Amino acid sequence: MDGSAAIINHPEVAILGVGRIIDKPWVVGGELAVRKVTELTLTFDHRVCDGGTAAGFLRFVADAIENPASVLADI
């Protein structure tokens, strides 16, 4: 499965969906290259969490996946 939109059930307030890692054509520095990519989706209850906060969390997760050494350096 490349990606999905997960459904949260009470009392859950959020769920992170992670698709499979696949090779895809990707533009890097103006050149076409094959890169391993995955789809991340975050479903959350807007009554509990603000969209900006959720987006910040998803950005943190994506950054951690793209550059795990930077996360380990912060520990």
The pLDDT tens digits for 18-73 are: 999 999 999 999 999 999 999 999 999 999 999 999 999 999 999 999 999 988 88
What is the enclosing helix (H) or strand (E) of 7?
none
Residue positions counted in the chain: 75
- The domain ranges of the chain are 14-68
pLDDT digits 0-9 by tens, 56-68: 999 999 999 999 9
What is the enclosing helix (H) or strand (E) of 69?
helix 68-73
pTM beyond 0.85: the answer is: no
- Of 2, 10, 45, 46, catalytic: 46
Let me know if 2 is a catalytic residue: no
Three state DSSP letters for 21-47: CEEEEEEECCEEEEEEECCEEEEECCC
Beta-carbon count within 10 A of 44 CB? 20
Let me know if 63 is a catalytic residue: no
28 phi/psi in degrees, rounded to 5: -130, 115
